[in-house]
Amino acid sequence: MKRLLLFILPILIIVAIVFSIFGIMQIRFTQEKLMDDLQKKAKAVDESLEFSARLILANNDLKSANRLVESFQKRERLQGCVIYDKEGNILSITERFSDWKIKEKPYLKDILINKTARGALENFKDYSVYSYIIPVIDDENNTLGMVEVIYDTSYVFTTMSDLWRRLSISLITLLVLIVLTMLLIQRRIFILPIINLTEWFQHFQKGETETAHPIKGKDELGKLASEVEQVALSLRIARKVVSEKATERLQKDELWTEAKLRDLIHARLGENALFVVSNREPYMHVIDAITGQPKCIRPASGVVTAIDPIMRACGGTWIGHGSGNADRRFVNSKDKLGVPPGDNRYILKRVWLSKEEEEGYYYGFANEGLWPLCHMTHTRPVFRESDWKMYQKVNQKFADSVLAELPAKDPFAFIQDYHFTLLAKMIKEKRPDVKIALFWHIPWPNPEVFSTCPYQKQILEGMLASDLIGFHVQSHCNNFLETANKLLESRVDTEKFSIVRFGKETFVRPFPISVDGYLNQSSQNLDLAKEIDRIKKEFELEGKIVAIGVDRIDYTKGLLERMLAVDRFIEKNPQYKNKFVFIQLAAPSRTHIKHYHDLMNEIDELVEKKNWKYSEGNWRPIIYLKKHFSPEEIMPYYALADICIVSSLHDGMNLVAKEYVASKTNLNGILILSRFTGAARELIDSVLINPYAIEEFSDAIKSAVEMPLEEKKKRMQNMRKIVSENNVYRWAGSIITELTALKKA
Ligand code: F6P
């Protein structure tokens, strides 16, 4: 629009100026001509009046004067005639113009003395008149009096304003015609070809690569179009080559790495990129409260921890909620940006939600409804109809955003978590050809618990539009199959582990999520060693046994139980006073929800109470660091910690447990792990606990503290083997292999 204005405005201004100059000249000319005609007419009439008035004035014949005046007043546009005597007094005047008597006329004396005629425009009452006066002179050159004719000039001004109006209308019509013509020309010459080229390129991007570009001419636009076509062609060839080479490399059976996953994706998805959808975005731009400047953070989220390395390795597009307060500043016109910032390995597309949408969909339905419904922590789920409506609306918003990106052929979408139970169905309604995998990052409850959800049918139907549904562990899969069997009209195939509803088959599989398994590499790094020294100095940790907890502040994480167990451990083993420190890194989470808010206060109070109970000099048993920590900031804590405590009351997997194991290169560390996490199925060499049983939990801390180094190393080695073999690349590789295999079936 701005560009269009820049193009049209100068032309309009020039046309308007030229037209106005000619218009003004035309008006002036017309006005002069009309006045000239008027003057000539007034002069002629006045002269004939003078001739008749000469005898009347010589005889001072008032009666004849009145008759003469009466006979002249009938002339066209003549307002009045006046006959003056030689003193300048009115002898006779047209009756309808009798008010003319009251007007001051200082010029009369001059006319009588100088014996010259006078014509001038005069204002009288509300209008303008033209007065022409000539002296009446006898044969001896004596002034007998004067005669005056007064003409109406309003017709001159009416004619002028008519002319003005006609000229203005012509100017406006001309300008409108110019604008319309310009718009038509520019649409025909520039816009239409660009629209066609853009559409062609969008289709090319989505995989419709067969058609040639639509610009026929060999002009500048034609040249641009063929350049774009060349780039697109090379891109297509490059993708094909990558895909073929990747298939060759995949034949070799080796440990899952970034490179192997990249090969798998290129081999299986071909030219198509991977599309991931999650509520939480992997990179968030927020305003730093201290500096006031925007900064980029990685949110504390299992989804982000697991999927970011995959996307870094394979590229593709991740669609997530742009929830950072500075997010809008960093996206392009399509709400996209390259991430990680500065490295640009994949595309992040941000979807914007209003406060109401976020409140109802995220805080309300997802986190006050589905989250407690799926976690066995004795927290009642809250289901509000208004939240459900918002949840549906936001799922549709994400579906539209995904649909806008999907390639034309063989698209794959990988949906994350309980925020998007309806997404698969909404996508398939428009694009039934899309292959969809949904991964459920939290536990799935048993059918009795799930049946308390008022929207159970819609949720299950929405999920079953997916081709593949993944859970962390087999028992969550079993719960889901049973739920579908009991609550929905469907057939569960226990051989194939699938659910068939109205002819559509959905496969259900366990895919235990993990971390990249190579966190250890960074522990060699010098900065890390420096950071460990700094932390040890700051918290006086030298010579002490350090246990660590890393969590979002969430009631499922068993944070209160953990503090109580630490308290009980010191209470029962006072010899560890001054020797044992528990550091909790706690990221505030979902703080708008009352339950979370109350929990934060409860933990603050408990930490305060327990530290006060044991305070001796500077030593405190619990160091509670309540803030968001980046993965880089967490790393030195993992490295220095002798023990890591994960005490979730219920958890789908828990990646902190796996991150700790992956980071322990020197094997000197032990993991205390809740039996109620998915990770407990794999990390059986951890010290397993029931976080509700505080006595048992505190004893587990003691046995971890006192565990001989050899045993710790052996256990850690076993766990590291499991984590590095079953790393996140394997997790993603298995899901993609399974999904693409379904496609061929
Ligand atoms: O798996 C559950 C999950 O959605 C994970 O992304 C993550 O562990 C956590 O919840 C993050 O929660 P939020 O995105 O609400 O901060």
CA of 635 to the centre of ligand 1 (A): 20
498 and 580 fall within a common domain: no
User: Is residue 155 very low, low, confident or very high in pLDDT (cuts 50, 70, 90)?
Assistant: confident
CA of 303 to the centre of ligand 1 (A): 6
When divided into structural domains, the chain yields a total of: 3
Residue 201 resides in a domain: no
Lateral strand order in the sheet of 127-137: 90-93, 78-85, 143-152, 127-137, 118-124
Residue 451 backbone dihedrals phi, psi, to 5 degrees: -70, -10
> How far from chain centre, in Å, is Cα 686?
44
Domain boundary among 510, 539, 570: 510
Cβ of residue 262 lying under 6 Å from some atom of ligand 1: no
> Could you tell me which residue, 522 or 341, shows the higher pLDDT?
341
CATH code, domain carrying 45: 3.30.450.20
448 and 584 fall within a common domain: no
pLDDT at 524: 54
% residues pLDDT > 70 (the chain):
94
Average pLDDT value for residue range 132-143: 90
User: Rounded distance, CA 17 to CA 347, Å?
Assistant: 51
pLDDT at 523: 45
Cβ of residue 302 lying under 6 Å from some atom of ligand 1: yes
CA of 512 to the centre of ligand 1 (A): 16
pLDDT at 199: 82
Cβ of residue 589 lying under 6 Å from some atom of ligand 1: yes
Ligand 1 atom 8: residue of nearest CA: 302
Q: Which numbered atom of ligand 1 lies nearest the CA of 304?
A: 6
Cβ of residue 358 lying under 6 Å from some atom of ligand 1: no
pLDDT tens column, 195-253: 888 888 777 766 676 677 787 777 777 778 777 777 776 676 666 666 666 666 555 55
pLDDT at 349: 97
pLDDT tens column, 440-468: 999 999 999 999 999 999 999 999 999 99
First to last CA, the chain: 51
pLDDT at 160: 87
Cβ of residue 282 lying under 6 Å from some atom of ligand 1: no
Residue 220 resides in a domain: no
443 and 565 fall within a common domain: no
Ligand 1 atom 10: residue of nearest CA: 301
* Closest-CA residue to 586 (of 550, 612, 541): 550
Q: Does 671 have pLDDT greater than 80?
A: yes
User: Tokens in use for 236?
Assistant: 């297509």
Q: Does 597 have pLDDT greater than 90?
A: yes
| Bridge partners, 297 (sequence order) | 284
Domain boundary among 475, 510, 545: 510
464 and 340 fall within a common domain: yes
Cβ of residue 303 lying under 6 Å from some atom of ligand 1: yes
Cβ of residue 441 lying under 6 Å from some atom of ligand 1: yes
- pTM of this structure: 0.73
Residue 252 resides in a domain: no
543 and 497 fall within a common domain: no
Residue 258 resides in a domain: no
pLDDT at 242: 63
C-alpha distances out from residue 630 to 295, 298, 300, 306, Å? 12, 6, 8, 15
pLDDT at 227: 77
Cβ of residue 278 lying under 6 Å from some atom of ligand 1: no
C-alpha distances out from residue 262 to 255, 265, 312, Å? 13, 5, 9
CATH code, domain carrying 424: 3.40.50.2000
pLDDT tens column, 87-119: 888 989 988 788 888 888 888 999 999 999 999
CA of 302 to the centre of ligand 1 (A): 6
Q: Does 590 have pLDDT greater than 50?
A: yes
Residue 598 resides in a domain: yes
Instruction: Please count the CA atoms within 13 angstroms of the CA of 709 that sit on its side-chain side.
Output: 3
pLDDT tens column, 5-32: 887 888 889 999 999 999 899 989 998 8
100 and 44 fall within a common domain: yes
Q: Which numbered atom of ligand 1 lies nearest the CA of 419?
A: 4
Residue 517 resides in a domain: no
pLDDT tens column, 480-511: 999 999 999 999 998 889 999 999 999 999 99
Domain boundary among 102, 130, 158: 158
pLDDT at 521: 55
pLDDT at 241: 62
pLDDT at 6: 82
User: To which H or E segment does residue 59 belong?
Assistant: helix 2-59
Look at 50-54, 238-242, 404-408 and tell me which has the smallest mean pLDDT: 238-242
Q: Does 419 have pLDDT greater than 70?
A: yes
> Could you tell me which residue, 562 or 107, shows the higher pLDDT?
562
User: Is residue 744 very low, low, confident or very high in pLDDT (cuts 50, 70, 90)?
Assistant: very low
pLDDT at 438: 98
609 and 488 fall within a common domain: no
User: Is residue 352 very low, low, confident or very high in pLDDT (cuts 50, 70, 90)?
Assistant: very high
Residue 315 resides in a domain: yes
Q: Does 520 have pLDDT greater than 60?
A: no
503 and 535 fall within a common domain: no
Q: Does 745 have pLDDT greater than 50?
A: no
Domain enclosing residue 421, as ranges: 274-510
Average pLDDT value for residue range 64-69: 87
Which contacts (CB < 8 Å, 24+ apart) does range 178-187 have?
178/8, 178/11, 178/12, 178/15, 179/8, 179/12, 182/7, 182/8, 182/11, 183/4, 186/4, 186/7
Residue 209 resides in a domain: no
569 and 426 fall within a common domain: no
> Could you tell me which residue, 52 or 679, shows the higher pLDDT?
679
Ligand 1 atom 1: residue of nearest CA: 441
34 and 148 fall within a common domain: yes
User: Rounded distance, CA 555 to CA 589, Å?
Assistant: 10
476 and 571 fall within a common domain: no
Ligand 1 atom 12: residue of nearest CA: 301
Q: Does 683 have pLDDT greater than 90?
A: yes
325 and 462 fall within a common domain: yes
